[in-house]
Chains A and B, each alone.
Chain A
Amino acid sequence: MDTKARQPKLGLREKYRLLTRDLGWDPTYQTRETLYPYAEYEGIKIHDWDKWEDPFRLTMDAYWKYQSEKDRKFYAILDAHAQNNGHLNITDARYLSAIKLFLQAISPGEYTSHQGFSRAGRELPGVGTQVACQMQALDELRHAQTQIHALSNYNRFYNGFHAFVQQRDRMWYNSVPRSFFDDAMTGGPFEFVVAIAFAFEYVLTNLLFVPFMSGAAYNGDMSTVTFGFSAQSDEARHMTLGLESIKFLLEQDPANVPIVQGWLDKWFWRGLRLLSLVGTMMDYMLPKRVMSWAEAWNIYGEENGSALFKDLARYGIRKPKGWEDASKGRDHISHQFMLGLYQWSFGTAFHGWIPTDEEFAWLSEKYPDTFDRYYRPRWNELRKLAAAGTPFKNYGLPMLCQTCQLPCLFTEPDDPTTLCHREVEYKGERYHFCSSHCQEIFDHEPEKYVQAWLPMNQLTQGTSGGGGLENWMKYVNLVDGQDNGDFEGSQDQRNFAQWKHNSVSNQA
């Protein structure tokens, strides 16, 4: 018997089919509905899972081999970084605020993403899609872990990193990313994939990833930039999964189009609000700037996004509703947010500061229409107060948006001198929003958003540590006078300057 000779040689595509989706079968001892209970309630109709085009063809043996090589290099560089005091090579200790925020706000999001893709990899009843989601689940675990490892050495020498676990669940500004990822995971498997794989990974990820990793490179942070390079090929896979998912859903049934459009409207705006943290980091926290948020938005948002939505128009998909307002806010959000963070820096596990003259010049060059007109005067005012020894602290609690959980500090899209505020009454309770789009998201699923855990409300109710600022700081593991406050005069500033000096001089 010579079976092999009689059968044609398999093409790559066919072979991959046999190694993945041919593993599945139609159950007969249990119904499909029992085994995949969450596949239908969102209203998405899939007629033929075989039409799914594998976004990449990676078998597990190749995955292990390729990923382990990347990790081996990553950990070798990390070890060298730790051994040689690589932390002293950063441009300035102010840079650390950016990566403190990254560890507290973004790394936990990677973990949540890992959990969400694990569930999607189980619940979606098509093998091709499941396999792609499962690999992403594993990648996201990698990202969470490599980030914790990369920043661990900074934690040994600087403040603000040590309590990222407690602060993930308890710190007020971390409820922005937490509520974002919790929102995606509490949606069904299709919404999760559209939210994270498409809206976040495909449409918005460059706005997060490129500025952060380039920021690390520009500022001498070898361990973070090594993570960035190492994660790039994972991100490329995740983006192709995002694009394939959306095309697959749109091609399967016309009834899917309005559902998907609704998700795109929602998740674009949710993602954009989340990224205002990144914009602030880019414009204010990097001692050596890469590009401004406005420039990044022009390239990765405006140009790439416009091309993408032109391409999706043939399915009946239009740009997300918030797109125009996102562009209008481009020149404002980072300034408004940083001004907020500065006044509340007593309650953040990273330092705030007033920009220097040189930074003012950079900001006014990058934001010619807005900085000098609206924001320089406010910074000058803060400067005066600081110089007089009475730095401005806003101990009043900011009102948070019920949807995105950012403080309601942004202005009207068409009037940068008026604070934007929307409110809705629902079942006898009043809810506040930072924007019309956040309100619309609430209106669409009020029963979901009334459940939001709003850290400021908890604080006033005394449920976060027993009431009072001191108890709240204990509750969030914030060490007053070390983790928080102004960078000027901070322990991080002093230590970095001292160690740096010691490393290049002969003083002990």
Chain B
Amino acid sequence: MPIELRTITIEPLRNNYDHLEKRFGHKPASRYQEASYDIQPVENLHYRPTWDPDQTLYDPTLSRIRMRDWYDLKDPRQLYYGSYTQARARQQDTEEANFEFVESNGLVMLMTDALRQQALDLLVPLRHVAWGADQNNMMVCGYGYGTTFKQPCVFYALDQLGIAQYLSRLGLLLGGQDALVAGKQAWMEAPAWQDMRRYVEDVMAVRDPVEVFVAQDVVLDGLLYPLVYERLVDDLLAVQGGTAVSMLTQFMTRWGAETRRWSDSVVKTMAAESAENRAVLEEWITQWGQRAVAALAPLARPVAVDTTDALMTEQIAAFAGRAAKAGVTIKLEH
């Protein structure tokens, strides 16, 4: 027989804050809703920025994308600070255990030098890509409009800092400090990395926050994470004896899948808003997508060798399929 403890019940005067009752009706709101909706100032802004008097302090017209209500761009994961740190703390526990397992069992020593070098060549320069992604997402968070859209970006930015730190630790574990020096040199000078570095620097020069979101999160990371972590590391390096590497990048694999769910949903909502939005998104995703494909192919080649072209074609198809589901039709060439 269930026994229920009794507590003193007082009838509340209201269920929630006015702005939430207006949006969601007279019922208790979730912690995500309380934490996110309408908490950015919207009116009676006091001064124009001295750094760019053409902008207002919170300025939805910085983007070519237009929304009647930016709070339509919600996060399907419903992450606010509390749930975000809880989720990442669990994931870092697993990642830490993986590092511990690889180190204490000497799994790196079981890899051939050639394989270890392949992993270093592929993964270490990506720590700089991640730092670019961090800054780009701080930009979206800082200049975007509406908390439900930009709050996931501050999480994304610091996730990317975390990923850059995991990749650095991976480099140190597999090749010591020399590996980080070599990785940075490749990032700066190796021909195979230059399209990628140019891409990252060019995105950093863009000042339309939604275009930055599209170029970085939707396009570059949308292609990079499945290609690098799911296919090159988890499939190709792992079968050659690189399971250790796959363990060390597990955080990234899962993070990519989780995050794509959010970025896809944002694209979908923006595209559904208007034909104009859809046209802009198609333009951006095609332009940046074409460049991202060109930047990624040379990175895949040393690992995928003969299968590189097939792999790229497969990844492009998967990417275009996701875009199509979000209502955006694109065609990328390889």
Q: Enumerate chain A interface residues (CB-CB to B < 8 A).
A: 1, 3-4, 6-7, 10, 18-20, 22-25, 27-30, 34-35, 37-38, 41, 59-61, 63-65, 67-69, 71-72, 74-75, 83-85, 108, 111-112, 114-115, 118-119, 121-122, 127, 130-131, 134-135, 137-138, 141-142, 144-146, 148-149, 152, 155-159, 161-166, 168-170, 175, 178-179, 182-183, 185-189, 445, 448-449, 451-453, 455, 458, 477, 495, 499, 502-503
Which of the residues A68, A84, A119 comes within 8 Å of B86, measured between beta carbons? Answer: A68
Contact B14 A162 (CB under 8 A): yes
Contact A35 B81, CB 8 Å, known A64-B162, A83-B7 = no
- Once the chains are docked, how many angstroms separate the CA of A339 from the CA of B7? 41
Which of the residues A121, A166, A502 comes within 8 Å of B138, measured between beta carbons? Answer: A121
- Once the chains are docked, how many angstroms separate the CA of A448 from the CA of B61? 22
Chain A residues with CB below 8 A from B58, complex form: 115
Write the nearest CB–CB distance from B58 to chain A, whole angstroms: 8
Contact A108 B14 (CB under 8 A): no
B77 is an interface residue with CB less than 8 A from chain A: no
B313 is an interface residue with CB less than 8 A from chain A: no
- Once the chains are docked, how many angstroms separate the CA of A142 from the CA of B80? 8
B113 is an interface residue with CB less than 8 A from chain A: yes
Contact B165 A19 (CB under 8 A): yes
| Residue ID in chain B nearest A122 by CB atoms | B138
Q: Enumerate chain B interface residues (CB-CB to A < 8 A).
A: 7-8, 10, 12-19, 31, 34-35, 38-52, 57-58, 80-82, 85-86, 88-89, 91-93, 95-96, 113, 127-128, 130-131, 134-135, 138-139, 141-143, 147, 151, 154-155, 157-159, 161-162, 164-166, 168-169, 172-180, 184, 187-188, 197-198, 201-202, 204-205
Chain B residues with CB below 8 A from A445, complex form: 50
Contact A65 B50 (CB under 8 A): no
26 sample A-B contacts, Cβ–Cβ < 8 Å, listed by A number: A20-B165, A22-B184, A23-B131, A23-B164, A30-B204, A64-B162, A67-B89, A68-B85, A112-B41, A114-B154, A118-B138, A118-B141, A118-B154, A121-B138, A134-B134, A137-B154, A155-B16, A162-B14, A162-B18, A165-B19, A169-B42, A170-B43, A182-B45, A183-B46, A186-B49, A502-B8
**Chain A binding site: helix, strand, loop or mixed by DSSP?**
helix
Contact A448 B47, CB 8 Å, known A30-B205, A61-B162 = yes
Contact B43 A19 (CB under 8 A): no
Not counting A19-B165, A108-B41, a sample of 6 additional A-B residue pairs whose C-beta atoms are within 8 angstroms of each other reads A23-B131, A60-B159, A64-B88, A65-B92, A148-B35, A495-B13
Contact B46 A29 (CB under 8 A): no
- Once the chains are docked, how many angstroms separate the CA of A75 from the CA of B7? 20
Chain B residues with CB below 8 A from A149, complex form: 31, 34-35, 82
Chain A residues with CB below 8 A from B95, complex form: 61
Give 3 nearest A-B pairs by CB, closest first. Answer: A60-B162, A68-B89, A156-B12
Chain B residues with CB below 8 A from A30, complex form: 201-202, 204-205
Which of the residues B44, B92, B198 comes within 8 Å of A61, measured between beta carbons? Answer: B92
Contact B40 A111 (CB under 8 A): yes
Contact B88 A59 (CB under 8 A): no
- Once the chains are docked, how many angstroms separate the CA of A34 from the CA of B57? 21
Contact A165 B172, CB 8 Å, known A30-B204, A61-B95, A453-B46 = no
Interface centre among B58, B81, B139, B178 (most CB of A within 10 A): B81
| Residue ID in chain A nearest B86 by CB atoms | A68
Chain A residues with CB below 8 A from B179, complex form: 3
- Once the chains are docked, how many angstroms separate the CA of A23 from the CA of B154? 18
- Once the chains are docked, how many angstroms separate the CA of A453 from the CA of B330? 46
Write the nearest CB–CB distance from A233 to chain B, whole angstroms: 14
Which of the residues A63, A68, A165, A175 comes within 8 Å of B18, measured between beta carbons? Answer: A165
- Once the chains are docked, how many angstroms separate the CA of A75 from the CA of B31? 10
Q: Across the A-B interface, how many residue pairs have beta carbons closer than 8 Å?
A: 255
Contact B17 A35 (CB under 8 A): no
Contact A18 B139 (CB under 8 A): no
Contact A159 B42, CB 8 Å, known A83-B7, A118-B142, A138-B158 = no
Write the nearest CB–CB distance from A320 to chain B, whole angstroms: 21
Interface centre among A67, A83, A452 (most CB of B within 10 A): A67
Which of the residues A131, A163, A183, A187 comes within 8 Å of B161, measured between beta carbons? Answer: A131
- Once the chains are docked, how many angstroms separate the CA of A458 from the CA of B178? 64
Contact B142 A183 (CB under 8 A): no
Write the nearest CB–CB distance from B167 to chain A, whole angstroms: 9
Contact B46 A25 (CB under 8 A): no
| Residue ID in chain A nearest B51 by CB atoms | A38
Chain B residues with CB below 8 A from A65, complex form: 89, 92-93
Contact A19 B45 (CB under 8 A): no
Contact A141 B85, CB 8 Å, known A24-B131, A34-B205, A134-B161 = no
Interface centre among B93, B178, B204 (most CB of A within 10 A): B204
Contact A4 B176, CB 8 Å, known A138-B81, A146-B81 = yes
Contact A64 B45, CB 8 Å, known A18-B177, A155-B16, A161-B17 = no
Contact A141 B142 (CB under 8 A): no
Contact B17 A152 (CB under 8 A): yes
Contact B86 A71 (CB under 8 A): yes
Chain B residues with CB below 8 A from A28, complex form: 188, 197, 201
Interface centre among B88, B89, B180, B198 (most CB of A within 10 A): B89
Contact A141 B46 (CB under 8 A): no
Write the nearest CB–CB distance from B162 to chain A, whole angstroms: 3
Chain A residues with CB below 8 A from B31, complex form: 75, 149
Which of the residues B17, B51, B204 comes within 8 Å of A188, measured between beta carbons? Answer: B51
Contact A156 B41, CB 8 Å, known A64-B162, A68-B85 = no
| Residue ID in chain B nearest A74 by CB atoms | B82
Chain B residues with CB below 8 A from A64, complex form: 85, 88-89, 91-92, 162
Chain A residues with CB below 8 A from B42, complex form: 169
Contact B39 A148 (CB under 8 A): yes
Chain B residues with CB below 8 A from A161, complex form: 17
Which of the residues A10, A155, A157 comes within 8 Å of B10, measured between beta carbons? Answer: A157
Contact B7 A164 (CB under 8 A): no
Write the nearest CB–CB distance from A331 to chain B, whole angstroms: 31
Contact B89 A452 (CB under 8 A): no
Write the nearest CB–CB distance from A458 to chain B, whole angstroms: 8
- Once the chains are docked, how many angstroms separate the CA of A118 from the CA of B139? 7
Contact A155 B92, CB 8 Å, known A122-B138, A138-B158 = no
